[in-house]
Amino acid sequence: NFKREARIIHSKSSDFLLFTLINGAYLNLTLNWLCNVAPFPTSVHRKTLIVSLDAKACKVIQKIWKQVKCMYIKVHGDYNSPLSWGRQNYINLLSLRSQLLLILAQLELPYILFETDAVWLRDPMEFFQNQTLIDDADIIVPTKGYPDHGLTYAFDPMIVYPSNASLVLMRELNLQLSKDPKVYDQDVLDQLCRQQYFGLVCRQFEWTEVADGKWFKLSESERAHLRPYIVNNNYYVGVDNKISRQALNDLWFLSVKNNCNFSKVQNLLRRYGSQA
């Protein structure tokens, strides 16, 4: 079923399939992201496949945004309350996600893994498309703003091009995660990219193109010189904290009733997107 949906969505896309895995606690962040990207001219919604561990979340998403495909996957255990970074059920969620990444690699579709707690300040689709022109990378991932014990490869957004090396990467990622239930996907990725596992070529977005939680710490004048396409809302634990941080930075686009406030999005795009 997942395979079929992925194929259908990709057939409607001129470039990539966009894929994310959410749980019930991520519903509002996901609605905020859907509102954020709704005005983009590249029809981001039509290219997006959301897999949800919560059936209700899918109903809410598809009621508001008809073009978005949301698929419910039933898993045993409580995965829909807010998950703590580093706890076992959080790591299990990453393991499930890596299984889905492997399936997409087997389908040989170019796809982008993303997370919905990010803000897209400008439409990145053309930028993503242009990444292929540079060299023969198998995957492209962001750079960490704060190198973490020498780890510099962040996990998403991740562009995955269909190649033998990206398929081997996803197989090995799944193998290592299944062997050690305490290991993190991004640690495995970092290690495989560094050793150019079976000829794997990993490239990185510049931090100025895809920024992370460090961006929120910058002053307005420092931000004025930067024009990232995407800012990942990380280095911050907890859904409510993430939402508060986005709201304090005028990056929360939902009303109290969770309706999309288009004028807020337009203000954002004018502020960050128009100075080409």
CB 171, CB 88: distance < 8 Å = no
Over residues 215-245, the pLDDT tens digits come to 999 999 999 889 999 999 987 678 899 999 9
Q: Which amino acid appears at position 34 of this protein?
A: L
Beta strands at 48-52 and 17-22: parallel, antiparallel or unpaired = parallel
Question: In this model, does residue 84 exceed pLDDT 90?
Answer: no
DSSP code, position 254: B
pLDDT band at 276 (very low <50, low <70, confident <90, very high): very low
Q: Which of 72-81, 177-186, 245-254 has the lowest mean pLDDT?
A: 72-81
Torsion over CA of 210, 213, 214 and 219, rounded to 10 degrees?
100
Residue 259's CB: how many other CB atoms inside 10 A? 12
More confident residue, 264 or 147: 264
Over residues 29-67, the pLDDT tens digits come to 999 999 999 999 999 999 999 999 999 999 999 999 999
pLDDT at 229: 97
Question: In this model, does residue 89 exceed pLDDT 80?
Answer: no
Question: In this model, does residue 86 exceed pLDDT 70?
Answer: no
Kindly report the pTM of this predicted structure: 0.94
Residue 50, domain CATH: 3.90.550.10
Q: What is the mean pLDDT of residues 20-28?
A: 95
At residue 33's C-alpha, the angle toward residues 23 and 243, to 5°, is: 70
pLDDT at 212: 92
Q: What is the number of structural domains in the chain?
A: 1
Q: Which of 82-86, 258-262, 268-272 has the lowest mean pLDDT?
A: 82-86
DSSP string of 141-174? EPEEEEEETTEEE--SSEEE--SHHHHHHHHHHH
pLDDT at 88: 77
Q: Burial-class residue 136 by CB neighbours within 10 Å (0-12, 13-18, 19+).
A: exposed
pLDDT at 83: 63
The fraction of the chain above a pLDDT of 90, given in percent, is 79
pLDDT band at 82 (very low <50, low <70, confident <90, very high): low
Over residues 125-183, the pLDDT tens digits come to 999 999 876 678 999 999 998 877 677 899 999 999 999 999 999 999 999 999 998 88
pLDDT at 77: 73
pLDDT band at 272 (very low <50, low <70, confident <90, very high): confident
d(CA 122, CA 271): 10
Q: What is the mean pLDDT of the chain?
A: 92
Q: What is the mean pLDDT of residues 17-34?
A: 96
The parent domain of residue 35 ranges over: 2-273
DSSP code, position 271: H
